[in-house]
């Protein structure tokens, strides 16, 4: 269905713009009129723009998790209220403000209207609808419980977004401190120290060792700043390239799990994602081995992913879930114990939810503890560096002042 871009005046008299899908420009104007929008400009989006969402198939376009989560929740609410799927999809297309998501959902709606299932239609955009979405929607459609599955997906997406926001929020302040502190140190060495050096140039006094070291560092940075910048950017680029390769990814994932403090946190996040995702999929009716295939991609860490692959082989041969996970040595005892209890009692989904909640709480506490530790540590390190620079400047200045006083 064509998508039209419009500008107009809303019911409150304010200027507004956006997109609307309709069979024709006349239908688009009528649809906008029904919303109380007086259209001042309307044009059909070009073919390239209409199909831009298709580039998600080749990895080009994604949407914000916040917008996707809100859309899933809206769709779940409408399907649960027994609104027909085509009408529910049309409603979420109208309601979303994200132009990329609007374009994608418009194409999903068109695909559904053409007779494809919702799962197959969503599968056209793997960068937006990951395997967990497609697998669960497919099971929901097959079982006639699409409303319940969409509610589970919405809750799952909200939990994932909450976890990500906690981590990003905790890292924001230390990252700002690091950037600000680095900028201050560079400024001192590049501008302040050279200016002070000019004061000492005309005197024959012997400079303190600390001042000599600081001047040499400043001179080196001034003479080789371009080389240092190239080396820094080159090292970062090489590192990012290397960890994007399979051997580099495997090395980094294994190494990061051994970093004191950080490794424990990364493992807890991976275990929480594993438990939450597996619980959500099993509760929606996805078969265990199919669910493990999807979970492997959600945990992201190669070490844990390989452990799950080995466990899947054992599970497919008739073993329990807990045994192979315990044997891998990559999963905490609490997780494997709770899974074993869940398998015996037939409440595996509930046990996985309990584990996920517990690890979410541990991750939250670990992030708070790490933030409390990092903030004073970074302040101490940056303050120490700045203090050394200041001391290297004031020591000879005080000596010069004493010499001047003695001469007078």
Whether the CB-CB separation of 15 and 7 falls below 8 Å is answered with yes
Run of H or E residues at 321: none
268-325 pLDDT per residue, tens: 888 888 888 888 888 878 888 888 887 877 777 888 888 888 888 888 887 788 888 8
The answer, yes or no, to whether residue 391 has pLDDT greater than 90, is no
Q: Which residues contact 68 (CB under 8 A, 6 or more apart)?
A: 101, 128, 157
Q: Which two tokens stand for residue 291?
A: 């669910």
Q: How far is CA 251 from CA 37, 167, 243, 301, 387, in A?
A: 56, 23, 8, 11, 38
Task: State residue 403's pLDDT score.
Answer: 59
Q: How far apart are CA 311 and CA 289, in angstroms?
A: 10
Of 135, 115, 83, nearest to 295 by C-alpha is: 135
pLDDT at 138 (0 to 100): 85
Residue 11 has pLDDT above 50, yes or no: yes
Model pLDDT, residue 201? 63
Q: CB of 137 within 8 A of CB of 75?
A: no
d(C-alpha 97, C-alpha 95), whole Å: 6
Confidence band (pLDDT; 50, 70, 90) for 205?
A: low
392 within 8 A of 210, measured Cβ to Cβ: yes
Would you say 127 and 147 are in contact if contact means Cβ atoms under 8 Å apart? no
Residue 79 and residue 85: Cα distance in Å, rounded?
7
Per-residue pLDDT for 49 more than 60?
no
In DSSP terms, which residues pair with 21 in a beta bridge? 3
pLDDT at 146 over 90: no
Read off the pLDDT of residues 350-364 as tens digits, 9 standing for 90 and up: 888 888 888 888 888
Q: Does the predicted model carry a pTM greater than 0.75?
A: no
Tokens 């303050």 locate to 383
- Supply the mean pLDDT for the chain: 80
Asked if 123 contacts 107 with a C-beta cutoff of 8 angstroms, the reply is: no
**How many Cα atoms within 13 Å fall on the side-chain side of residue 340?**
12
Helix axes 262-283, 146-187, angle to 10 degrees: 160
- The tens digit of pLDDT for each residue in 216-264 reads 888 887 778 788 889 989 999 999 999 989 899 889 988 988 888 778 8
pLDDT band at 398, cuts 50/70/90? confident
What burial class does residue 91 get, using C-beta atoms within 10 Å of its C-beta: 0-12 exposed, 13-18 middle, 19+ buried?
middle
Give residue 5's region: left, alpha or beta (phi > 0; psi -120 to 50).
beta
DSSP bridge partners of 4: 20, 44
Domains of the chain: 1-50 (3.10.20), 55-129 (1.20.81.30), 147-408 (1.20.81.30)
The per-residue pLDDT for 52 is 41
CA separation for the pair 377, 370 (Å, rounded) = 10
Compute the average pLDDT of residues 45-51: 46
Interatomic CA distance for residues 92 and 100, integer angstroms: 13
- Residue 80, pLDDT above cutoff 60: yes
Helix, strand, coil % in the chain, rounded to nearest 5: 75, 5, 20
| Positive or negative: CA dihedral 222, 226, 229, 231 | negative
Cα(83)–Cα(217) distance, integer angstroms? 70
Contact (Cβ atoms closer than 8 angstroms) between residue 207 and residue 396 = yes
Distance between CA atoms of residues 208 and 395, nearest Å: 7
197 close to 217: Cβ distance less than 8 angstroms? no
pLDDT at 32 over 60: yes
If pLDDT is split at 50, 70 and 90, which confidence band does 86 have?
confident
Query: What is the predicted pLDDT for the residue at 233?
Result: 92
pLDDT above 80 for 337: yes
Q: Residue 51: which pLDDT band, with cuts at 50, 70 and 90? A: very low
* Predicted local distance difference test score (pLDDT) of residue 45: 63
Stretch 57-78: mean pLDDT, rounded? 76
Share of the chain above pLDDT 70, in %: 89
**CA 145 – CA 139 distance, rounded (Å):** 8
CA 85 to centroid of chain Cα atoms: 30
């Amino acid at each position: 269905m064509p998508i039209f871009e419009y500008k107009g005046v809303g019911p409150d008299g304010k200027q507004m713009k956006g997109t609307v899908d309709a069979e024709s420009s006349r239908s688009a104007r009528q649809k906008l009129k029904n919303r109380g929008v007086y259209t001042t400009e309307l044009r059909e989006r070009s073919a390239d723009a209409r199909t831009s969402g298709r580039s998600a198939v080749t990895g080009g376009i994604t949407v914000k998790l916040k917008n996707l989560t809100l859309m899933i929740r809206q769709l779940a609410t409408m399907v649960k209220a027994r609104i027909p799927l085509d009408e529910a999809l049309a409603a979420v297309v109208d309601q979303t403000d994200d132009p990329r998501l609007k374009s994608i959902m418009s194409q999903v709606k068109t695909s559904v209207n053409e007779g494809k299932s919702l799962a197959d239609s969503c599968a056209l955009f793997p960068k937006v609808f990951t395997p967990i979405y497609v697998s669960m929607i497919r099971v929901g459609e097959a079982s006639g419980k699409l409303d319940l599955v969409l509610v589970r997906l919405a809750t799952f997406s909200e939990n994932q977004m909450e976890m990500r926001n906690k981590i990003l929020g905790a890292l924001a302040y230390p990252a700002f401190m690091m950037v600000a502190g680095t900028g201050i140190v560079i400024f001192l060495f590049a501008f302040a120290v050279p200016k002070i050096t000019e004061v000492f140039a005309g005197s024959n006094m012997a400079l303190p060792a600390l001042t000599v070291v600081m001047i040499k560092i400043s001179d080196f940075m001034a003479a080789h700043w371009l080389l240092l910048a190239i080396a820094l950017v080159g090292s970062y680029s090489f590192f990012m390239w290397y960890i994007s390769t399979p051997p580099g990814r495997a090395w980094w994932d294994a190494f990061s799990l051994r970093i004191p403090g950080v490794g424990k946190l990364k493992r807890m996040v991976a275990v929480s994602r594993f438990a939450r995702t597996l619980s959500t999929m099993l509760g929606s009716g996805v078969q265990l081995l199919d669910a493990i295939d999807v979970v492997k991609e959600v945990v992201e860490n190669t070490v844990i992913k390989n452990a799950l692959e080995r466990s899947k082989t054992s599970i497919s041969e008739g073993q329990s879930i807990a045994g192979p996970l315990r044997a891998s040595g990559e999963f905490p005892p609490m997780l494997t114990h709770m899974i074993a209890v869940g398998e015996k009692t037939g409440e595996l989904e509930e046990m996985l939810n309990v584990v996920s909640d517990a690890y979410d709480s541990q991750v939250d506490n670990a992030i708070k503890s790490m933030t409390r530790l990092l903030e004073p540590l970074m302040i101490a390190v940056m303050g120490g560096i700045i203090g050394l620079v200041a001391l290297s400047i004031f020591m000879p200045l005080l000596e010069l002042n004493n010499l001047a006083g003695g001469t007078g």
